[in-house]
Amino acid sequence: MRIAVVAFGKLKTPGLAPAIEHYIKMASIWAKIEHIELKPLAVPGKDPATRARIQEAEAQLLRARLSGILKNPSDYFLLDESGRQLTSHAWSALLGVCQNDVSGTVAFCVGSSLGFSKGLKTQAKAVLSLGAQTLPHELARVVLYEQLYRALSILKRHPYHNEG
């Protein structure tokens, strides 16, 4: 299985890049995971019209990058605070379905501070949330990588996930 995590912005907070590398390395026995960063656009104002314009321009950047890595243009999931929350077992089931149904690579996308356009949300396989709390985009990436590793470990019956 191939998984791409596509995120807007560079990791700047100390310690987060090594944490992501740690989860990628641990998951590498079950899946090839690629970390892709896109440059977010400047935000001159957050009025609705400017927000929509920037979201659509970033959607074009994301679509262009996804077209280079996905065989099926809709084999991506968006991480968004309005998305569906999953348990660790549900994440595992999702990856199990992807392993069987996705041709090639599946992508999980983390947006810029403005989030995703409505068009991207309707074209995605699903819009998912990492929880009810608000996370900084950089930290959300670390949580996503850990959850991907945990889901793979459940799928492969590895003892990392400890319930009870």
Model pLDDT for residues 53-68, shown as the tens digit of each residue: 999 999 999 999 999 9
Write the burial class of residue 63 (CB in 10 Å: 0-12 exposed, 13-18 middle, 19+ buried): middle
Residue 164 has pLDDT above 60, yes or no: no
Under 8 Å between Cβ of 43 and 52: no
Distance CA 51, CA 35 (A): 26
3-state per-residue secondary structure call for the chain: CEEEEEEECCCCCCCHHHHHHHHHHHHCCCCEEEEEEECCCCCCCCCHHHHHHHHHHHHHHHHHHHHCCCCCCCCEEEEEEEEEECCHHHHHHHHHHHHHHCCCEEEEEECCCCCCCHHHHHHCCEEEECCCCCCCHHHHHHHHHHHHHHHHHHHCCCCCCCCC
67-100 residue pLDDT tens = 999 998 889 999 998 899 999 999 999 999 998 8
Mean pLDDT of 93-109: 89
Report residue 45's pLDDT band, with 50, 70 and 90 as the boundaries: confident
Residues, the chain = 164
pLDDT at position 104 is: 80
Give the global pTM: 0.94
